[in-house]
Amino acid sequence: MVITGAETDVCVLSTVLSAVDLGFRVVIVEDALCSSSDTGHDALMTMYRTRFHGQIDLVSAEELFETWRPE
């Protein structure tokens, strides 16, 4: 499941945790997220990298497009 969106520390967090609970492998497009709170955004990005690295992959939009580009 690929996730982008607004409010990294609210709506995106809720979606990510629900997807993980349902057993999905989550791919977060880190340069396609935003939040009204830089502190909250930064804290969640750190948590995704350190606590959820087994369930969540962080990629850039460019990396995602490269993966999806037909050969």
The H-or-E segment that residue 58 falls in is strand 56-59
Answer whether 7's CB lies under 8 Å from 36's CB: yes
Joined together, the tokens standing for residue 19 give 């997807």
The model's pLDDT over 1-10, given as tens digits with 9 standing for 90+, comes to: 899 999 999 9
Query: Cα separation of 70 and 54, whole Å?
Result: 27
Segments making up each domain of the chain, as ranges: 2-66
The model's pLDDT over 36-46, given as tens digits with 9 standing for 90+, comes to: 999 999 999 99
Answer whether 16's CB lies under 8 Å from 48's CB: yes
What is the reported pLDDT for 71? 72
| Burial class of residue 26 in the structure, from the number of CB atoms within 10 Å of its CB (0-12 exposed, 13-18 middle, 19+ buried) | buried
